[in-house]
């Protein structure tokens, strides 16, 4: 059921925010602080986190606890949660915003890139949920859990297999929790941003692609040119949570693309194949590495042409 009259909704609420050092996480923390929330912040970037804490406090908001940690480290998350709960009541709103991205075709993505996507983007939110939500349930005061997925958690974007594995998983888990936690009046929202102009745009790993290539740089800048600001994304997120929306879009193009997928599967499939080809031609990946098969190696694009090892 949607909540009405959400102006002032966050005033006095205890809000836990991951990824608070930059991008959407920082913008969300600042907006929450301006609305009178009590903030508990974390990020693995200690300098960026300290800057956000300082800026939030300059707005007059309280930041009783903050700690630099990697959400992929369960023990670190659990220890921070235990310290918070030993000194403060349970959270009212938990926002899982921290995330990383890596793109690439399956023959170029490394095992470490696959593992990192799952460890940070999926297991990170799970660690936070494990550590904070049981206390919210026990307190029986209601609340809200926010998980930032992606457009890549809704549709099959080219070269996003590893990233989508984490973001689809996060969306699926959130849908289950939406129903599981309703009896405790704890809402669950999934944010599905499209292009957002954050530092992630310039740091995303693209397997097999030279990020220094001017043509690649032009495509990255074109992407950023269509991106919404972190502040706009934060505004959409907090408005959506206050209205208890399940899917929160930061731009209308993602809503339209998801509707296209659901209502016109065959045209969507054709379009995505074409987009995949455009993506590959634009980024011009380097030749795929040889794949070892016993005493022979094969080219991934030409597996019927074995090359004998010397």
Positions annotated as catalytic residues are 163
From residue 71, alpha-carbon distances to 58, 83, 93, 122 in Å are 26, 16, 17, 10
Question: How remote is the C-alpha of 263 from its chain's centroid?
Answer: 26
CB burial of 23-50 (b: ≥16 within 10 Å; e: otherwise) equals bbbbbbbbbbbebbbbbbbbbbbeebbe
CB burial of 6-21 (b: ≥16 within 10 Å; e: otherwise) equals eeebbeebbbbbbbbb
From residue 295, alpha-carbon distances to 241, 298, 309, 310 in Å are 57, 10, 6, 9
Pairing state between β 296-299 and 302-308: antiparallel
Residues 6+ apart with CB under 8 A from 41: 16, 17, 20, 29, 49, 52, 53, 56, 63, 65, 66
Residues 6+ apart with CB under 8 A from 83: 65
The residues with which 131 forms a beta bridge, in sequence order, are none
Q: Is the Cβ–Cβ distance between 18 and 124 less than 8 Å?
A: yes
């Amino acid at each position: 059921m949607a909540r009405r009259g959400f102006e002032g909704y966050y005033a006095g609420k205890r809000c836990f925010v991951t990824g608070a050092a930059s991008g959407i996480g920082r913008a969300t923390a600042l907006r929450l602080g301006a609305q009178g929330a009590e903030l508990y912040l974390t990020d693995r970037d200690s300098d960026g986190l300290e800057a956000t804490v300082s800026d939030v406090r300059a707005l007059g908001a309280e930041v009783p606890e903050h700690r630099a940690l990697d959400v992929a480290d369960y023990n670190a998350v659990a220890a921070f949660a235990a310290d918070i709960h030993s000194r403060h009541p349970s959270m009212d709103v938990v926002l899982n915003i921290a995330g990383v991205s890596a793109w690439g075709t399956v023959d170029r993505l490394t095992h470490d890139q696959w593992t990192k996507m799952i460890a940070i983007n999926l297991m990170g939110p799970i660690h936070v949920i494990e550590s904070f939500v049981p206390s919210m349930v026990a307190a029986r005061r209601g609340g809200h859990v926010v998980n930032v997925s992606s457009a890549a958690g809704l549709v099959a974007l080219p070269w996003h297999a590893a990233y989508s594995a984490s973001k689809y998983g996060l969306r699926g888990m959130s849908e289950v929790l939406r129903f599981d936690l309703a009896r405790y009046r704890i809402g669950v929202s999934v944010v599905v941003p499209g292009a957002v102009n954050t530092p992630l745009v310039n740091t995303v790993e693209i397997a097999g692609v030279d990020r220094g290539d001017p043509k690649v740089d032009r495509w990255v800048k074109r992407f950023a040119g269509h991106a919404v600001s972190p502040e706009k994304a934060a505004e959409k997120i907090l408005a959506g949570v206050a209205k208890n929306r399940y899917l929160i879009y930061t731009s209308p193009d993602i809503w339209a693309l998801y509707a296209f997928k659901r209502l016109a599967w065959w045209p969507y499939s054709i379009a995505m194949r074409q987009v995949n080809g455009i993506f590959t031609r634009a980024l011009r990946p380097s030749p795929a590495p040889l794949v070892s098969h016993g005493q022979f190696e094969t080219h991934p694009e030409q597996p019927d042409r074995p090359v004998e090892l010397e």
